[in-house]
């Protein structure tokens, strides 16, 4: 059987999806104080890591996909970026430090890709890594406007299981529902112009 899972990781993601997330990335970047340390969880091609590296002290990106990490490493070498590093790994298996090692943890478009029972597990792991979480993902309910339809089509192209996870994420209230379930506090929230995405600052 053809495996549609993550077929677009790496170069294709960088060419076709990264540009469409520019606004979302800037909504995240503007919430991060300069000269701080950041862990970008599920960093993908590293696009947010590179933007943050321009204003932050040290930025670390972690992602499950070897293809994504390979792409990010090549970009880092090409652009000679000194204060970024990339790690391939599963967020669910991350060790839990006694003290948060980062000022911020960012997670953009991660949670809609995680199976429902694992979402609180990963959220609690991320919370142990950083003092403040900046989370961004699809807004629940996802609007039925042009952007909403485009986003649904993109998500369907990831395969049936991928789309099922998005639907369960939205049904369970998206990021605000998850944050509330984990007993964390929302300190700030913003939506993009299309109403498709939400950014939360969480403590
Ligand atoms: C939709 S992409 C978003 C990538 C990037 N944050 C962005 O905004 O472009 C979701 C990413 O989550 C990663 N991912 C999914 N599950 C993961 C896990 N358990 N641990 C680490 N990364 C994971 C995928 O490999 C993929 O790169």
Q: Which one of 39, 113, 121, 175 would you pick to mutate in the ligand 1 pocket, going by the greatest count of ligand atoms within 8 A of its CB?
A: 113
Spatial contact of 126 and 91, defined as CB atoms under 8 Å apart: yes
From the alpha carbon of 91, which atom of ligand 1 is closest?
A: 20
Tokens describing residue 70: 């390979």
Q: Which residues line ligand 1 (CB under 6 A)?
A: 21, 42-44, 47, 63-65, 68, 90-92, 108-110, 113-114
Exposed / middle / buried, residue 122 (Cβ in 10 Å: 0-12, 13-18, 19+): buried
pLDDT tens-place values along the chain, 203 residues long: 344 457 778 899 999 899 999 999 999 999 999 999 999 999 999 999 999 999 999 999 999 999 999 999 999 999 999 999 999 999 999 988 988 999 999 999 999 999 999 999 999 999 999 999 999 999 999 999 999 999 999 999 999 999 999 999 999 999 999 999 999 999 999 999 999 999 999 99
Spatial contact of 59 and 83, defined as CB atoms under 8 Å apart: yes
List of domains in the chain: 11-202 (3.40.50.150)
Tokens describing residue 30: 């503007």
From the alpha carbon of 113, which atom of ligand 1 is closest?
A: 15
């Amino acid at each position: 059987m053809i495996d549609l899972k993550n077929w677009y990781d790496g170069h294709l993601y960088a060419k076709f999806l990264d540009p469409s997330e520019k606004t979302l990335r800037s909504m995240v970047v503007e919430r991060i104080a300069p000269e701080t340390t950041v862990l970008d969880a599920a960093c993908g091609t590293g696009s947010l890591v590179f933007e943050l590296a321009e204003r932050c002290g040290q930025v670390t990106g972690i992602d499950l996909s070897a293809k994504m990490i390979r792409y990010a490493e090549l970009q880092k070498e090409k652009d000679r970026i000194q204060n970024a590093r990339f790690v391939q790994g599963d967020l669910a298996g991350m060790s839990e430090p006694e003290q948060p090692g980062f000022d911020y943890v960012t997670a953009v478009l991660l949670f809609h890709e995680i199976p429902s029972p694992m979402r609180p597990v990963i959220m609690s792991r991320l919370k142990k890594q950083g003092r403040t979480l900046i989370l961004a993902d699809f807004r629940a309910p996802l609007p039925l406007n042009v952007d909403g339809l485009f986003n649904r089509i993109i998500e369907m192209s990831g395969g049936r299981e991928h789309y099922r996870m998005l639907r369960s994420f939205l049904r369970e209230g998206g990021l605000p529902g998850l944050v509330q379930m984990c007993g964390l506090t929302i300190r700030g929230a913003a939506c993009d112009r299309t109403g498709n995405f939400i950014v939360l600052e969480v403590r």
